[in-house]
């Protein structure tokens, strides 16, 4: 890596993603980041399928990929925190291991940070109207409304308009984490880090992205009611405690 360049750390939490992780890594390698270097930190969270084997095959072909293995499943939040702890980059980016988020959006998410305009950028999926019928109907509408509600609660509690608090594409300068202790171990990671960023008085810039949502048959893991209730409580809890 060129020491004079900014380093981007791409953190990928993985749990049983053998069908998609290879393609995700190929797509990440194809992205042109002319002004910065990259490292890809994969945290396998106790996968029981062939995810680790596929990742190790990719590592043999790339010097940019590092694998860290949890001995057993701890949850997405725990995997992301492990990735952060091992990241050397000036900028951190979270990349899901499925194909919902397209790495082609990474350059535009990075641009405001690289220009020094913002410290935190979220890729928002929800600045669009829901479509309930036709070929272009919104997938998983219950999730859409749930995310809209949680984002509205975030905006009310923390005094800044947020349209997609639950987005998987979060990018920020590593310095944002200074003094921040993250307790989340599961999907409560999203509301916790958002709450703690906003409590530090840091603005979150949102940029529109396109996604390809997968259903439960394709391996989606979040439970909308259970995890939604936890997310709501997390937002409320961190509004009133340190």
Enumerate residue ranges in the chain where pLDDT < 70. Answer: 1-4, 129-142, 214-223, 242
Cα separations (Å) of 59 from 16, 66, 148, 204? 18, 7, 38, 33
- Residue 2 token pair: 């060129």
| H helix count then E strand count, the chain | 7, 7
Would you state the pLDDT for residue 29?
A: 92
**Is the whole-model pTM more than 0.75?**
yes
Cα separations (Å) of 218 from 42, 71, 96, 214? 21, 24, 14, 6
- Model confidence pLDDT, tens digit, residues 1-34: 555 689 999 999 999 999 999 999 999 999 999 8
Q: How far is CA 172 from the centre of its chain?
A: 11
Radius of gyration of the chain (CA): 17
| Tokens 């106790």 sit on residue | 46
Would you state the pLDDT for residue 175?
A: 97
CB 82 within 8 A of CB 72: no
Would you state the pLDDT for residue 191?
A: 97
* Three-state secondary-structure class, residue 48: coil
Cβ within 8 Å of residue 39, ≥6 positions away:
1, 7, 8, 9, 10, 64, 65, 66, 87, 88, 89
Would you state the pLDDT for residue 201?
A: 97
Cβ within 8 Å of residue 62, ≥6 positions away:
25, 29, 40
Going along 26-94, which residue ranges are E strands?
36-45, 65-70, 91-94
Would you state the pLDDT for residue 187?
A: 85
Strands 170-173 and 65-70, how do they pair?
A: unpaired
User: Domain 6-240 adopts which CATH fold?
Assistant: Spore Coat Polysaccharide Biosynthesis Protein SpsA; Chain A (3.90.550)
- How far is it, in rounded angstroms, from Cα 122 to Cα 162? 9
Would you state the pLDDT for residue 143?
A: 76
Helix-helix angle 189-199:224-240, to 10 degrees: 20
The backbone region for 123, taken as left when phi is positive above 0, alpha when psi lies in -120 to 50, beta otherwise, is: beta
Would you state the pLDDT for residue 131?
A: 53
Would you state the pLDDT for residue 225?
A: 76
- Model confidence pLDDT, tens digit, residues 51-67: 999 999 999 999 899 99
Would you state the pLDDT for residue 86?
A: 97
């Amino acid at each position: 890596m060129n020491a004079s360049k900014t380093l981007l750390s791409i953190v990928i939490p993985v749990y049983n993603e053998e069908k998609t992780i290879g393609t995700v890594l190929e797509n990440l390698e194809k992205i042109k980041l002319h002004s910065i270097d990259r490292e890809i930190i994969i945290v396998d969270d106790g996968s029981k399928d062939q995810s680790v084997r596929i990742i190790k095959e990719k590592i043999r072909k790339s010097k940019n990929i590092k694998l860290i293995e949890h001995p057993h499943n701890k949850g997405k939040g725990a995997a992301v925190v492990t990735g952060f702890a091992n990241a050397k980059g000036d900028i951190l980016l979270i990349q899901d291991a499925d194909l919902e988020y397209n790495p082609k959006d990474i350059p535009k998410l990075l641009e405001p940070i690289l220009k020094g305009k913002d410290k935190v950028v979220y890729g928002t999926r929800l600045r669009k109207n829901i479509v309930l019928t036709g070929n272009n109907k919104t997938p998983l509408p219950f999730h859409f409304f749930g995310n809209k509600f949680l984002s509205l609660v975030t905006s009310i509690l923390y005094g800044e308009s947020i349209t997609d608090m639950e987005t998987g594409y979060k990018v920020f300068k590593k310095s944002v984490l200074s003094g921040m202790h993250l307790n989340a171990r599961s999907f409560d990671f999203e509301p916790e880090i958002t709450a703690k960023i906003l409590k530090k008085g840091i603005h979150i810039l949102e940029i529109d992205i396109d996604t390809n949502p997968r259903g439960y048959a394709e391996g989606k893991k979040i439970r909308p009611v259970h995890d939604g209730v936890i997310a709501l409580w997390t937002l409320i809890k961190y509004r009133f405690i340190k």
